């Protein structure tokens, strides 16, 4: 059985026991419920909002980390405007512990 969930503005196809790297959701060791569930596929496919009303995916946060640094540079011609910036995204590695059909 697998499910499609949305977290951090992205969609992930997950199965029980799978480890997924998502944008930071909680500190290490906590259990989280991933909602909304967009699809559950097992013996039958659940895809409509009425069928997915009670569906949920539970996961445990296993690890935390940061992605690679992204560098940027803003520049406006003829105005002497220059700005350097950087960003590192925080990530959580979660392990899917259960998929509930609801």
Which string of DSSP letters, residue by residue, matches 55-83? -EEEEEEEEEEE---EEEEEEETTTTEEE
| Cα gap 38→60, rounded to integer Å | 20
The whole-number pLDDT of residue 49 equals 86
The whole-number pLDDT of residue 35 equals 83
Does 83 score more than 90 pLDDT? yes
The whole-number pLDDT of residue 22 equals 96
Number of domains in the chain: 1
The whole-number pLDDT of residue 50 equals 86
The whole-number pLDDT of residue 44 equals 83
Domain of residue 52 covers 2-100
Does 43 score more than 90 pLDDT? no
User: Whole-number mean pLDDT of the chain?
Assistant: 93
């Amino acid at each position: 059985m697998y499910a499609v969930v949305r977290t951090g503005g992205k969609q992930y196809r997950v199965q029980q026991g799978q480890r997924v790297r998502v944008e930071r959701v909680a500190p290490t060791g906590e259990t989280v419920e991933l909602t909304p569930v967009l699809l559950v596929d097992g013996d039958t496919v659940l895809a409509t909002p009425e069928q997915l009303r009670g569906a949920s995916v539970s996961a445990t946060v296993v690890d935390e980390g940061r992605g690679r640094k992204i560098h940027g540079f803003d520049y406006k011609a003829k105005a002497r405007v220059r700005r350097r910036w950087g960003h590192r995204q925080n990530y959580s590695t979660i392990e899917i512990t259960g998929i509930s059909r609801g």
